[in-house]
């Protein structure tokens, strides 16, 4: 993998993360009423397919964007690939995570208050209204948890994803060296 292919692959990864964020947003708006919100359901499906395509199959697109490998181009090292992906993914995490800070504060407050609610439910045999939510509210809660987890994982640099991409680019670098020989 050359430096231009790496830049193209990093750009496609950022676009894939944006598509994944769009998928979660569309899914949040459609809520539990997928049958009545055809537009949001269709857009969430399309954005999910695009996100998977950009995140897991970017090699062919990166080669087309970067063009053919020149005679004097050297493949990039593993450190460049890992460093590039870590920086780009941490930046994406810092872009995604601030929207979720309000949810993190509410979750922390609920964790502090939850034991008291549960004890009151057991002692007084009284079910609190906090646990009676509509289906769409539960869907939004799960999607907020998923967005928060995605933001935290990206802010940490997405270590598993970076390892996988580094192994993949190492194999591409070996192919580049073999094609030049």
Average pLDDT over residues 27-36: 64
Kindly report the CA angle at 104 between 23 and 162, in degrees rounded to 5? Answer: 55
Instruction: Provide the pLDDT for residue 153.
Output: 92
Q: Tell the residue number behind the tokens 């998923």, with chain if given.
A: 146
Mean pLDDT, residues 21-39 taken together: 71
Structure tokens at 150: 């995605």
Q: What is the pLDDT of residues 58-84, one digit of tens each?
A: 888 888 888 777 767 787 888 888 899
**Model pLDDT for residues 77-114, shown as the tens digit of each residue:** 888 888 999 999 999 998 888 888 888 888 888 788 87
Are the beta carbons of 78 and 172 closer than 8 angstroms?
no
**What number of CA atoms fall less than 13 Å from residue 52's CA on the CB side?**
5
- Burial of residue 86 (CB within 10 Å: 0-12, 13-18, 19+) is middle
Asked whether the whole model's pTM tops 0.85, one would answer no
């Amino acid at each position: 993998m050359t430096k231009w292919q790496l830049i193209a692959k990093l750009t496609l990864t950022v676009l894939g993360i944006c598509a994944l964020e769009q998928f979660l947003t569309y899914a949040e708006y459609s809520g539990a009423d997928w049958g009545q919100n055809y537009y949001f359901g269709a857009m969430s499906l399309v954005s999910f397919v695009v996100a998977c395509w950009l995140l897991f199959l970017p090699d062919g697109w990166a080669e087309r964007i970067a063009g053919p490998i020149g005679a004097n181009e050297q493949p990039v090292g593993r450190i460049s690939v890992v460093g590039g992906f870590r920086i780009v993914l941490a930046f994406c995490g810092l872009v995604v995570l601030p929207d979720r800070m309000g949810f993190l504060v509410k979750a922390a407050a609920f964790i502090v208050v939850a034991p008291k609610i549960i004890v009151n439910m057991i002692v007084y045999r009284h079910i609190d209204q906090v646990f009676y939510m509509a289906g769409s509210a539960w869907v939004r809660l799960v999607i907020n948890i998923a967005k928060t987890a995605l933001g935290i994982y990206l802010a940490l640099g997405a270590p598993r994803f970076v390892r996988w991409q580094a192994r993949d680019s190492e194999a591409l670098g070996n192919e580049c060296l073999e094609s030049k020989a």
